[in-house]
């Protein structure tokens, strides 16, 4: 195996000239035939099943199981993608190639077209049963910004550049795009030195993150070497780690975030596969001069050469009562200090078994510029400077009725861009 083959290769399914017979798919910003993301959908009150997004349509894979590769087909007749995520890389690749051919070849159209549904008529469900969700802290600019508010004396703690920092999140409250986000109550202190009270959070915030879906990985007690980590990264999504910052500020020491971040996490419902991402892998930016080299278990030359992602990330706010979402931040996935493979290698190094359907959050991905901040706590410089919206409203924290929309586009010269779909959540009282 050559170094560059750790991740799926670019093949005929990424050809920018490929055209689908599905009406409108070629012009769709997120889901042209070069993407083929998988999700769980139902139509007309039917059972949830595996579907693939193509333009404004969804193809029901359970209904065309007979046309899919024999090896691995059973994984696609399930009400979740956990079995798909457990497939071997070559099985996942064979499925993608078959789907690409079915949706581009005119001679397949008659057999396939009856099983296409308009996306607007489909209900989307959680893509997988998430056994465990872990949130990392790889956005180094976010870590510096947040640290300067929480711990002005040491914004970046001395471990940051040696160990991928993370915390075990809460899988049960991860929800797909569109599910309203109820403002949580929690213990807060109104002023330093006063007694805490139980109150609805006054510092509700969002976090711009990517989610990494884990597939077949390691057995309990066995570390997964970084060289094999790419096989376990089956796809990505957008992730908004809603945060109650006043609760967080009071509760987080010494064990880290707890109730401040476990009430609701929003993800985009489509799994954009590792295979689809082949053209969008880039080198991990070189560590600044003077930063420590990662320990050997976190270092792989191929991962450094291909393990980062070329994804533009966007945040928009649709304010309460508003009709138009306002762009409030734009960042890029290359601001992650650690690659997804490094996160997997680190998570498993002590023998913790990762399972198909586990979800890893990147941590908030802020860019090192004022227009690229991935949370309100950063944009307001620690609740000091409100942001002003075009309609004259201003915000320090999110208000009831506000909606946050995350989006992302993968692009590379010579390839068709693909998107991650929607990751929206509206705050309710």
Binding residues: 135, 137, 151, 207, 209, 241, 248, 252, 261, 265, 364
305 DSSP assignment: H
Say whether residue 241 binds Ca ion (CB under 5 A): yes
Piece of the chain touching ligand LGMQ2O6W by CB under 6 A; list 26-34, 47-55, 144-152, 219-227: 144-152
Say whether residue 246 binds Ca ion (CB under 5 A): no
Q: Which CA distances in Å does 29 have to 15, 211, 416?
A: 16, 20, 10
Q: Exposure of 288 by Cβ count < 10 A (0-12 exposed, 13-18 middle, 19+ buried)?
A: exposed
Instruction: State the catalytic residue, choosing from 57, 142, 306, 335.
Output: 142
Residue number of the CB closest to Ca ion reads: 241
Say whether residue 205 binds Ca ion (CB under 5 A): no
Q: Name residue, tokens 């099943």.
A: 49
Q: How far is the CB of 17 from Ca ion (least distance, A)?
A: 39
Binder among 135, 300, 303, 403 for ligand LGMQ2O6W (CB under 6 A): 135
146 binds, among Mg ion, Ca ion, ligand LGMQ2O6W, none (CB under 5 to 8 A by kind): ligand LGMQ2O6W
How far is residue 411's CA from residue 364's CA, in Å, rounded to a whole number?
21
Q: How far is the CB of 135 from Ca ion (least distance, A)?
A: 5
Annotated binding site for substrate: 137, 151, 248, 252, 364
Say whether residue 364 binds ligand LGMQ2O6W (CB under 6 A): yes
Nearest to residue 34, comparing CAs of 276, 309, 280? 276
How many amino acids of this chain bind ligand LGMQ2O6W (CB under 6 A)? 15
The SS3 assignment for 104 reads: helix
Piece of the chain touching ligand LGMQ2O6W by CB under 6 A; list 40-48, 119-127, 133-141, 179-187: 133-141
Structure tokens at 355: 């399972």
Say whether residue 147 binds ligand LGMQ2O6W (CB under 6 A): yes
Say whether residue 132 binds Mg ion (CB under 5 A): yes
For residues 182 to 221, the per-residue mask of contacts with ligand LGMQ2O6W, x marking binding by CB under 6 A and - elsewhere, is -------------------------x-x------------
Say whether residue 241 binds ligand LGMQ2O6W (CB under 6 A): yes
Q: Which CA distances in Å does 201 have to 33, 146, 419?
A: 43, 18, 33
296 DSSP assignment: G
How far is residue 260's CA from residue 252's CA, in Å, rounded to a whole number?
8
How far is residue 278's CA from residue 34's CA, in Å, rounded to a whole number?
11
Cβ-count burial 128-162 (b if 16+ within 10 Å, e if not) = bebebbbbbbbbbbbbebbbbbbeeeeeeeeebbe
Whether 332 sits among the annotated catalytic residues: the reply is: no
Which residues are near ligand LGMQ2O6W by CB under 6 A?
Answer: 135, 137, 139, 142, 146-147, 150, 207, 209, 241, 252, 257, 261, 363-364
């Amino acid at each position: 195996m050559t170094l560059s083959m750790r991740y799926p290769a670019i093949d005929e399914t990424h050809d920018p000239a490929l055209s689908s017979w599905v009406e409108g798919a070629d012009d769709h910003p997120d889901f042209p035939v070069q993407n083929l993301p998988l999700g769980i959908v139902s139509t007309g009150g039917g059972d949830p099943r595996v579907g693939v997004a193509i333009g404004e349509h969804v193809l029901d894979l359970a209904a065309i199981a007979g046309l899919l590769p024999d090896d691995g087909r059973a994984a696609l007749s399930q009400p979740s993608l956990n079995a798909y995520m457990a497939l071997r890389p070559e099985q996942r690749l064979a499925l993608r190639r078959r789907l690409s051919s079915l949706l581009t070849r005119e001679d397949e159209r008659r057999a396939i077209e009856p099983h296409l549904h308009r996306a607007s008529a489909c209900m989307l469900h959680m893509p997988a049963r998430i056994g465990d969700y872990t949130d990392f802290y790889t956005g180094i600019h976010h870590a510096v910004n947040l640290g300067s508010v929480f711990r002005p004396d040491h914004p970046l703690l001395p471990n940051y550049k040696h160990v991928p920092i993370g915390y075990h999140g809460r899988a049960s409250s991860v929800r797909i795009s569109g599910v309203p986000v109820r403002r949580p109550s929690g213990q807060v202190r109104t002023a330093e030195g006063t007694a805490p009270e139980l109150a609805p959070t006054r510092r509700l915030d969002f976090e711009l993150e990517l989610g990494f879906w884990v597939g077949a990985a390691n057995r309990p007690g066995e570390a997964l070497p970084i060289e094999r980590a790419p096989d376990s990264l089956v796809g990505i999504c957008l992730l908004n780690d809603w945060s109650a910052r006043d609760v967080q500020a009071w509760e987080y020491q010494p064990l880290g975030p707890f109730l401040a971040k476990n009430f609701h996490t929003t993800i985009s419902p489509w799994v954009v596969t590792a295979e689809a991402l082949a053209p969008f892998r880039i080198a991990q930016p070189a560590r600044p001069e003077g930063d420590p080299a990662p320990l050997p278990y976190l270092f792989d030359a191929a991962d450094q050469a291909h393990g980062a992602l070329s994804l533009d990330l966007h945040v928009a706010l649709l304010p309460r009562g508003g009709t138009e979402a306002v762009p409030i931040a734009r960042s890029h996935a290359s601001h992650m200090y650690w690659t997804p493979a490094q996160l997997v290698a680190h998570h498993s190094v002590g023998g913790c078994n990762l399972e198909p359907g586990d979800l890893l959050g990147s941590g908030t991905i802020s860019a090192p510029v004022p227009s690229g901040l991935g949370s309100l706590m950063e944009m307001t410089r620690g609740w000091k400077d409100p942001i002003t919206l075009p309609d004259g409203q201003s915000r320090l924290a999110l208000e009831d009725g506000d909606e946050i929309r995350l989006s992302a586009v993968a692009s590379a010269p010579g390839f068709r861009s693909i998107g991650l779909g929607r990751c929206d959540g509206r705050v309710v009282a």
